[in-house]
Amino acid sequence: MVVKSLCRDFQTGTLGSLLVFLALLLSSCGPAETGSKAETGAKDGKVYHITATVGMIADIVRQVAGDHAEVTGIIGEGVDPHLYKPTSTDIKALQSADVVFYNGLMLEGKMTDALMRVARGGKPVYAVTETILDAGDYVLTDTHEHFDPHVWMDVKGWIRAVDAVATALSEYDPEHADDYRTNAKTYTAQLEKLDAYATKVIGSIPEQQRVLVTAHDAFNYMGRSYGIEVRGIQGISTESEAGVKDVEDLVKFLVQRKIPAVFVETSVSDKNVRAIVEGARNRNHAVVIGGSLFSDAMGPAGTYEGTYIGMIDHNVTVIARALGGEAPEKGFQGRLSL
């Protein structure tokens, strides 16, 4: 639930963030999290309403909820959740929902107040990374011991999030618990095939060139799971700034390793990436921009890339092809719009 998860979010935050959280927590000593809506669940077969913070969560919730719920995502295509501040429309979407799902691990740091207010009203609010945090040392941290929230970049990690969604919906709406478990099992089978594809195509990149350079550190879970070295110009949050030395060090690295391509991200400025391309060129090493990757947001709604499977399929296919690996142009399902 939201209070437990936000406690963990702030364990590695700054002192200022911790003080803000404590103020919110003290003011939230009202209705319990298992309030009236959490106790009653869906009634008489009516469709209930779910709001999710980011598209990757909204998509897996749709897969698990099936026809029993309508799912609304707040942060859409090309939008950076690290910097996103909820609008009045977003607040209404959270308040009017029957159930709320968010990522946690400080991905939606600027939405903390809104999530706390919704939880104080007795609404069920779930972090999909809660069970992942309980699973030992899976969660990565940066050099400042801040949680890395980009779990969805490892398909095996996101399967755990699917399980968390199925458990949460079964708790909210026990009458349809079997449906949620069945839907989760069916979707997980698709994700396992995607995971195998990612392993295969990333593994086809020549070892010397198996290096992923992007705008910020959103791909470390992918790197760990699929065996590719990851270098981000900025840190795990786009609130961090890249210094001149960061850019210079990365240029030197590209030249020494003769890396052929770097990548921009759809939700992050490409300024720093273009700077390292120019810096490498000035040192007589040609580096191309190998493509645009989906990091903190998926593709346009209604497209294949606007689904979680399409997002990951696009990323691993583009990365493999640009770095000298072997991958079909249209991806593992033949649906990419490259």
Q: What CATH code is carried by the domain that includes residue 229?
A: 3.40.50.1980
Q: Are 273 and 233 in contact (CB under 8 A)?
A: yes
Count the domains in the chain. 2
Burial zone of 138 (CB within 10 Å; 0-12 exposed, 13-18 middle, 19+ buried): middle
Q: For tokens 């209070």, name the residue.
A: 3
pLDDT over 90 at 236, yes or no = no
What does the pLDDT read at residue 131?
Answer: 87
Q: Are residues 35 and 162 in the same domain?
A: yes
What does the pLDDT read at residue 43?
Answer: 58
- H or E stretch covering 51: strand 48-54
What does the pLDDT read at residue 246?
Answer: 79
Instruction: Write the pLDDT tens digit of every residue in 161-179.
Output: 999 999 999 999 999 999 9
Q: Is residue 329 part of a domain?
A: no
Q: Are residues 190 and 201 in the same domain?
A: no
**Residues in contact with 122: Cβ distance below 8 Å, sequence separation at least 6, in sequence order:** 31, 32, 33, 34, 35, 36, 37, 38
Q: Are residues 190 and 240 in the same domain?
A: no
Q: Are residues 187 and 270 in the same domain?
A: no
Nearest-angstrom CA–CA distance, 234 and 41: 42
Task: Confirm whether pTM is higher than 0.85.
Answer: yes
Q: Are residues 22 and 149 in the same domain?
A: yes
Long-range Cβ contacts of 309-312 (<8 Å, 24+ apart)? 309/190, 309/191, 309/194, 309/333, 310/335, 310/336, 311/56, 312/152, 312/153, 312/155, 312/194, 312/198
What does the pLDDT read at residue 19?
Answer: 35
Q: Are residues 250 and 264 in the same domain?
A: yes
Nearest-angstrom CA–CA distance, 3 and 112: 10
Instruction: Write the pLDDT tens digit of every residue in 179-209.
Output: 999 999 999 999 999 999 999 999 999 999 9
What does the pLDDT read at residue 80?
Answer: 86
Q: Are residues 201 and 117 in the same domain?
A: no
Kindly report the backbone phi and psi dihedral angles of residue 50, in degrees, each rounded to the nearest multiple of 5, phi listed first.
Answer: -120, 135
Tell me the pLDDT of the chain averaged across its residues: 86
| Of 167, 195, 223, the domain-final residue | 195
Q: Is residue 333 part of a domain?
A: no
Higher-pLDDT residue of 16 and 288 is 288
| Of 157, 176, 195, the domain-final residue | 195
Q: Are residues 173 and 124 in the same domain?
A: yes
Q: Are residues 224 and 240 in the same domain?
A: yes
Q: Are residues 228 and 143 in the same domain?
A: no
What is the greatest pairwise CA distance in the chain?
69
Q: Is residue 247 part of a domain?
A: yes
Q: Please report the DSSP string for 154-218 in residue order.
A: SHHHHHHHHHHHHHHHHHH-GGGHHHHHHHHHHHHHHHHHHHHHHHHHHHTS-GGG-EEEEEES-
Q: Is residue 111 part of a domain?
A: yes
Q: Is residue 223 part of a domain?
A: yes
* Structural tokens at position 11: 């364990």
Residue 314's domain comprises 197-322
Q: Residue type for 232, please? A: G
Q: For tokens 């008489």, name the residue.
A: 44
* Structural tokens at position 246: 């960061």
Query: Mean per-residue pLDDT for 11-28?
Result: 39
Q: Are 287 and 280 in contact (CB under 8 A)?
A: yes
Q: Is residue 338 part of a domain?
A: no
Q: Are residues 80 and 185 in the same domain?
A: yes
Q: For tokens 């996101």, name the residue.
A: 158
Q: Check residue 127 and give left, alpha or beta (phi > 0: left; psi -120 to 50: alpha).
A: beta
| Of 164, 195, 226, the domain-final residue | 195
